[in-house]
């Protein structure tokens, strides 16, 4: 499936020495975008530009310019905190003296002073996250890319991670990150891009986007965009042969088709007569919530060969 539309658009929203966030439901391509930026994936079409320069075949420049903190972590469990930092420093061809001074700086920055000689697999979840961030910026990259940096963290540890991200940014590092916790985007991002159906459908500062859609939160904006576009997707698809991506059986397929008809007569008329108006409204809300959760089952057009 071609995923070209938003690659160039993403670069256009990049803000030097600022924090840019990517919002989207699971499976929309957030992690794919990040891996494309660091050269892990190659675009089937188009290009990734940084400093007006193509990153194709520029492995050394990608390593020099970018740091990547993955959701799972890239450090070695059997090495200590300090050993991990030295290992990654050597991977970036840093001199021993530079690794030593940079490691001391980063250990203080991420708050691992008391765990310098602790083996990584003995660290807490929050400490492992901070170690991974330190390893990803050992070479002082211009851009730090972070995939779900607060995943699996409790509220206190999430706040600590967000504070760390802001500190890194304040030191001059540009940050591009993804998260499904939209409140975090609202709190720390200078700019956000909203993905829907593998395309960037909205971008701008959080305040500007919220004002445009008349919402007080990015979550409200995302729901409004989602609701509007899922109706449009259904309306357009009924004109041609369509299918669901992953229907489990005929009954599920029938139910998904039924509830994708938002605002239709079928949606309004098939309520049992013995239910009160309040119960009917509540049931409709619950089924619409279920529809959101079934995001990955959006109908697609079988005949659009360009998307294959």
pLDDT digits (tens), the chain, 308 positions: 334 344 444 445 456 789 999 887 777 677 777 777 777 777 676 666 666 666 666 667 677 888 999 888 889 999 999 999 999 999 999 999 999 999 999 999 999 999 999 999 999 999 999 999 999 999 999 999 998 899 888 889 999 999 999 999 999 999 999 887 888 888 899 999 888 777 778 888 999 999 998 988 888 888 887 776 555 554 444 444 444 444 445 554 555 554 444 443 333 334 445 667 777 777 766 655 555 544 433 433 333 434 44
Distance from C-alpha of 11 to C-alpha of 88, rounded to nearest angstrom: 27
Domain total of the chain: 2
How far apart, in whole angstroms, are the C-alpha atoms of residue 91 and residue 63? 10
Q: Is residue 151 part of a domain?
A: yes
Same structural domain, 31 and 172: yes
Assigned domain for 221 exists: no
Residues 180 and 298 in one domain: no
- 10 in any annotated domain: yes
Report if residue 149 sits inside a domain: yes
What pTM does this model have? 0.68
Looking at the fold, whether 272 and 148 belong to one and the same domain comes out as no
Structural domain contains residue 233: no
Q: Same domain, yes or no, for 144 and 256? A: no
Clarify whether residues 156 and 280 are in a common domain: no
In a domain, 231, yes or no: no
d(C-alpha 99, C-alpha 292), whole Å: 47
- Burial (CB count <10 Å: 0-12, 13-18, 19+), residue 85: buried
Q: How far is CA 145 from CA 17, 19, 66, 175, in A?
A: 12, 10, 7, 6
Q: Which domain holds residue 101?
A: 5-216
Q: Tell whether 123 and 254 lie within a shared domain.
A: no
Q: What Rg, from alpha-carbon coordinates, does the chain have?
A: 23
Question: Same domain for 108 and 204?
Answer: yes
**What is residue 174's DSSP assignment?**
E
Give the separation between CA 41 and CA 26, rounded to whole angstroms: 19
Last residue of a domain, one of 170, 185, 216: 216
Residues 134 and 282 in one domain: no
């Amino acid at each position: 499936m071609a995923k070209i539309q938003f690659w160039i658009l993403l670069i256009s929203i990049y803000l030097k020495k600022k924090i840019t966030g990517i919002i989207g439901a699971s499976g929309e391509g957030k992690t794919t975008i990040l891996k494309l930026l660091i050269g892990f994936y190659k675009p089937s079409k188009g290009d990734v530009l940084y400093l007006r320069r193509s990153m194709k075949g520029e492995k050394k420049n990608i390593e020099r310019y970018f740091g990547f903190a993955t959701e799972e972590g890239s450090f070695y469990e059997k090495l200590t905190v300090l050993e991990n930092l030295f290992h990654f420093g050597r991977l970036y061809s840093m001199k021993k003296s530079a690794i030593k001074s940079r490691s001391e700086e980063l250990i203080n920055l991420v708050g691992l002073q008391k765990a310098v000689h602790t083996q990584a697999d003995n660290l807490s979840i929050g400490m492992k996250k901070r170690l991974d961030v330190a390893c990803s910026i050992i070479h002082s990259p211009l851009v730090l890319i972070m995939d779900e940096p607060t995943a699996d963290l409790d509220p206190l540890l999430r706040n600590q991670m967000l504070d760390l991200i802001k500190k890194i940014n304040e030191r001059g590092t540009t940050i591009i990150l993804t998260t499904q916790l939209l409140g975090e985007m609202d709190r720390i991002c200078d700019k956000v891009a909203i993905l829907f159906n593998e395309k960037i459908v909205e971008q701008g500062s959080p305040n500007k986007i919220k004002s445009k859609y008349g919402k007080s939160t990015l979550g409200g904006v995302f729901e409004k965009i989602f609701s509007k576009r899922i109706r449009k997707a259904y309306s357009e698809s009924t004109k041609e042969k369509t299918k669901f991506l992953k229907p489990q059986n005929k009954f599920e397929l029938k139910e998904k088709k039924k509830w994708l008809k938002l605002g239709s007569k079928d949606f309004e008329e098939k309520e049992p007569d013995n239910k009160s108006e309040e119960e009917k409204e509540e049931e409709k809300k619950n089924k619409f919530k279920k529809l959101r959760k079934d995001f990955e089952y959006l109908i697609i057009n079988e005949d659009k060969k360009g998307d294959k």
